[in-house]
Structure 1
Amino acid sequence: MNIQEKARALMQGHYQTIKNRQQSMLGRVGEQLGLPEETSRYWNPTQGKITPAGWMSYDTSCATMS
């Protein structure tokens, strides 16, 4: 793998991690609200991109839970 391929793979992995975290959090909220499962699992990115606010909200942080 050259550097460009490695950078692309890292970015795709990071995107997938954020997408999974966002889907998980939205699914939990949907369940708490009593929404049907297919509704709470719905996820529709605009042109396959997560918004900048989404990156900041669902990205990893320095805080940890114990």
Structure 2
Amino acid sequence: MKKNLVALLKGRFLVSGDAPRNWLFIVFVSLLATVMIASSHSADRKVHDIAALNEEVKQLRSEFV
């Protein structure tokens, strides 16, 4: 157990014989995380835009009445 933990901390899985498979998985997970973060930012931006538009609608309704 201790030997496996030390090997993990030293990054031996990145330079071993099956390293390309590990690197491919790391790149895939990084890309997936980037897409998720971008999607979250986009959703937050839309929420703020909707809130601003609702405030504008309230203001225009009060001016109209």
Q: How many aligned residue pairs are there?
A: 35
Q: How far off its partner does 1:15 sit?
A: 0.2
Question: Which structure would you say has the larger RCO, counting Cα contacts within 8 Å and 6 or more residues apart?
Answer: 1
Aligned-pair identity (%): 0
TM-score by length of 2: 0.50
Distance in 2, matches of 1:4 and 1:24, equals 30
User: Hey, which bits of structure 1, 4+ residues long, moved more than 3 A?
Assistant: none
Q: Which has the higher helix share?
A: 2
Structure 1 spans left out of the alignment, 5+ residues: 36-66
Q: CA deviation at 1:13?
A: 0.3
- TM-score, with structure 1 as normaliser: 0.49
Unaligned runs of 5+ in 2: 1-30
Question: What is the aligned-residue RMSD (CA, Å)?
Answer: 1.7
